[in-house]
Amino acid sequence: MPTLKGLLFNQYAAEGLSALVEEMQSSYTAKKGRRFNHNNITYEISRPALNGNAIEFEISSKIPEDELKTPKAMESYFDQMKKNLNKGKNKPVSIERENIVWDSKKETEKKRDYVKLQYRYALDDLFDNKVVAKRHEKVMSGQADPSMPDTSSAFTKAGKVVLGVVRETMQQLGKESLTELMEVNKKVKASLKG
């Protein structure tokens, strides 16, 4: 059974990741849903999910199959992606190659391969008590905090500051992971062309 803390954190994590989707779609080529395209690669950011005492989300990128002509080349691309991502700062809890067969009108079949990364963060890792304390002090002294949500979900100003920090933290963690994925894609594409 989910806790109130888990439900609230998931709500604000969702807001943080949605803000990231908007940021990426405005910076790059927007696609349907929670996707965008950069350098001929489509990226997608999932909604978060509360799992036990942690928030999980996924980021995926399409393997550029139009640039890789054989199944062996696609496998090599995925293997290099996995190797590079496992060395990175924000290690995902899982890296999978997902194959999606898509047919919107039942007329044509489109096969797409994706690198799918799953991230998991414990609820208590989504905020720092020192940051919350400093920001709460500022709020109590009358300074405005634009990141503090105007919500009835939290009964105290400190609670509202925590929820604002959770939203910011999820947006930042998502952005760091996404930026790393984009850099690894760029590096692997260059190595295969080289």
Q: What's the pLDDT tens digit per position in 152-180?
A: 677 778 888 889 999 999 999 999 999 99
Which amino acid appears at position 183 of this protein? E
Do 147 and 165 contact (CB within 8 A), yes or no? yes
The domain limits of the chain are 4-193
d(CA 30, CA 24): 8
Q: What's the pLDDT tens digit per position in 99-135?
A: 866 555 555 555 678 999 999 999 999 998 888 888 8
d(CA 31, CA 43): 9
Predicted local distance difference test score (pLDDT) of residue 139: 74
